[in-house]
Amino acid sequence: MSINKTILVVDDDFSLLEMINEGLTEQGYHVVASVNPEDALQRIKEVDIRFALIDYDLCVPEMNGIDLAKKIRFTQSDVIVLIMTGYQNIKYAVDAMRNYKFDYMIKPFRIDQVISSFERSLREYELLEENKMLYRKIVELETECERLKEAREEEHTMRTISQASKKLISNTNAADIYKRQQNF
């Protein structure tokens, strides 16, 4: 199975955006770069994105990186999001990770750190998806077992009715024979 290696990178610092684009491209990723949230939201409708690297500190009044990440997840729920920031505020990190399940990275960082974070998140996502699939399979098997149990109970009931009918017919025949013998 080929992994979609398309990353949406959103940062309002064009020089940083170019550096990230170059580093990720060299590592074999397809980068869709955007300098503003509106463009990013439009691009995600046009391209199948697997990962998103979003600057928390976007300098636009209408939304920050978390708001953009939530909108992206609303559009494509399986996108793995990594929030980056230049501020070392632990509150933002905890908020991003706990409430929104976004990983968090402090600038400056190395490209290999970004890739490691995405790969770790992808493995976690794949495990969660496998768990969901296995759970659905268990539910299907439990349903099938219940259906088989009911079918077996019905079969037992039908067998009992059949045996009782045979006895009744046998008893009826015996009674008819007895009556005929009495008439002779």
- Structural domains of the chain, with CATH: 6-135 (3.40.50.2300)
Q: What is the pLDDT of residue 142?
A: 94
Peptide bond into 37 cis (omega under 30): no
Q: Which residue has the higher pLDDT, 78 or 102?
A: 78
Report which listed range, 40-44, 45-49, 59-63, 98-102, is most confident. 40-44
The closest alpha carbon to 20, from 121, 91, 92, 117, belongs to 117
Q: Is the pLDDT assigned to residue 175 strictly greater than 60?
A: yes
Q: What is the pLDDT of residue 184?
A: 62
How far is residue 58's CA from residue 12's CA, in Å, rounded to a whole number? 6
- Please tell me whether the overall predicted TM-score, pTM, comes out greater than 0.85 for this model: no
Q: Is the pLDDT assigned to residue 1 strictly greater than 60?
A: no
In angstroms, what CA-CA distances link 21 with 17, 25, 30, 32, 104? 6, 6, 9, 8, 18
How far is residue 172's CA from residue 170's CA, in Å, rounded to a whole number? 5
Q: Is the pLDDT assigned to residue 34 strictly greater than 70?
A: yes
Q: What is the pLDDT of residue 168?
A: 72
